[in-house]
Amino acid sequence: MLKFRLIIFILVTIILSSCLSTPTKESNYLEFTVGINQLVNSLISDLQIFNIFTNTIVLNPFLDIDNGQIIQASLDIEKLMIAQVKSNFQKINLVRISPQTLTNAKYILNGIITYEANKSNKIKYYKISASIIDLTTNLIVTNHTVYIQSSGLDYKPTPSYQDNPMYFKGKTLQNIISSVKSPVGSKVDTDYYNFVEIKALLITAQTAYDNEKYKQAYKLFKDILKKQGGKLIEVYGGLYAVAFKLKNLKEAKTYFSKMVDIGMQQGTLPVKFLFKTNLTNFLNIPELKQQYDIWLQQISKYLKVNSDKCIHIIGHTSISGAYKYNKGLSKSRANNIQKRMSKIFRGIMQRSKTIGEGSDEMIVGTRPDSNENAIDRRVEFKIVDCWN
């Protein structure tokens, strides 16, 4: 009977989804609180088709689709959703994911936040999508999207992401995007539960870091490394941040080198070298400058040892300023990094090429320049085949 209901539900969902499109009028966008409440109400109401009234759903904090980070808006969404379910669906238990809550969970709720940067400079528009997955069958049971307009959601990363030397667009983010965007009735990877277990441990470690419990976070991150599939760049990034906080620079260098190894294997190093507005100088934050020296040393060291690797050093800018000017500025930023690296490893001049992308690959994409969009003013690395 349950299987029959599932088939009917999937067919109805597909039909309804085919009738929906992205809103084209401002009136179709919702205020943040209204939109989030509508999103969670739709998701939970769908579950009731299966007479599900007493199961635990773990909530995986929503990720910014552009950089894979948990931002303050993610926490705002989480708070609203949990309160809404508690108020309107008393027999459903929606809780933040952790190893403890995952033990009794039947479902997981995943979500992503997409900033629609090109719509307006005055009012900001967002697409917020979520799905619920049955952890027993690995089937996507329901998914929904709402469109939000706001003066601006809070894009400040949580401390564990803010202090991480890289932003993440790797396997973890891709798994979440796939689980949200795939059609209802799709089956996620067969090892999805293992991925969720690692994610629960990661969230717990990051939460400890966010609460300034650094020694506890260190132990939790180390425990993840012992798990199958636990050697993730996010985990090493967490260990790096903890080591730096505890002033253990030797360990910080070791963990950053692990991140470089993984990034090089994946073909990209999205390191957060951040610059002042309209300048090729780094942001004037002493703690960051000290870390930049560590990062440049470890990346240069890797390239010196691995003579078969070459890189593109890619500069970026925010959207502010003329397009042609931004192209030149971003190229100058890449040149600045190349010059700094050449003092450590002279061969970098023959093994690298500098590129200026200007504002073509923004992450935040807001005006005016501020701390919020500092990540748009960055330099990162792409691994390429060596040329003769």
pLDDT for position 6: 52
Domain boundaries 267-388, corresponding CATH code: 3.30.1330.60
Query: Helices in the chain by DSSP H: which ranges?
Result: 2-19, 32-47, 72-88, 99-103, 159-162, 171-181, 192-210, 214-225, 233-245, 249-266, 286-305, 323-342, 348-351
**Domain boundaries in the chain?**
27-156, 267-388
pTM: 0.86
Largest CA distance in the chain: 70
Structure tokens at 145: 């999207």
pLDDT for position 48: 78
Do 94 and 57 meet the contact criterion of CB atoms below 8 Å apart? Answer: yes
pLDDT for position 50: 65
Structure tokens at 13: 């969902």
Tell me the sheet residues that pair with 112: 63, 129
Confirm whether 27-156 and 267-388 share one CATH topology. Answer: no
- Which residue positions in the chain have pLDDT lower than 50? 1-2, 12, 14-20
How far is Cα 108 from Cα 56, in angstroms, rounded to an integer? 9
Domain boundaries 27-156, corresponding CATH code: 3.40.50
Q: 320-357, pLDDT tens digit by residue?
A: 888 899 999 999 999 999 999 999 999 999 999 999 99
pLDDT for position 190: 73
Which of 299, 369, 379 has its CA nearest to residue 337? 379
pLDDT for position 18: 41
Output Rg (C-alpha) for the chain, integer angstroms. Answer: 22
Do 55 and 89 meet the contact criterion of CB atoms below 8 Å apart? Answer: no
pLDDT for position 117: 66
